[in-house]
Structure 1
């Protein structure tokens, strides 16, 4: 349904370093930086696997609660996301594990990013398909 999404962060360099590390295990990397002459001097980068679909910008912190969830191809990727995000300064908001209240095979992990946003990785496949 969604083509892309983005939001502002309080400390661009800190958040970019967090997302560089946390998203790498999911096969997601920084693909594009918008030239500053098009952004009024604000840092803007896009992440994705094949094209930028997730964007952050240094325009100032987005207010309110925000939850972003990234797809993982396996439970091992969810585990690796959680470990990388925690090492990159994320705060635990729910370690890797099954969440059967969502559905039988929902395996996710939740971390809070540098701005306190809830960032998740999820795998929906049964363990035998990992």
Structure 2
């Protein structure tokens, strides 16, 4: 039996100050790539596959990037967090279950440039 290796990147989440313009831009480029029918959007968000865009505001200012990597276990999430702290990252949410959906186990670090980097283990697909 061959072991299935999950993708390295789980999702990308961007926050925009100029959301209307950003949504129009992303819709246009996804259309040009033949993927426009896959885009879902609401009043203040746009999503396609593993890409998510929403509105920046006073509580959630624009981010350079939120990048989530797939982990294969809780232990990998914990190792990610420890190694990142040791390598100079700043804690942005220690390892633990999140309320995004059942079985979402993640940890967050800010890299030296302030980007929000996540490791996520989804217990629903383990």
- TM-score, normalised relative to structure 2: 0.48
Q: Going by fraction, where is strand more abundant, 1 or 2?
A: 2
Greater Cα radius of gyration, structure 1 or 2: 2
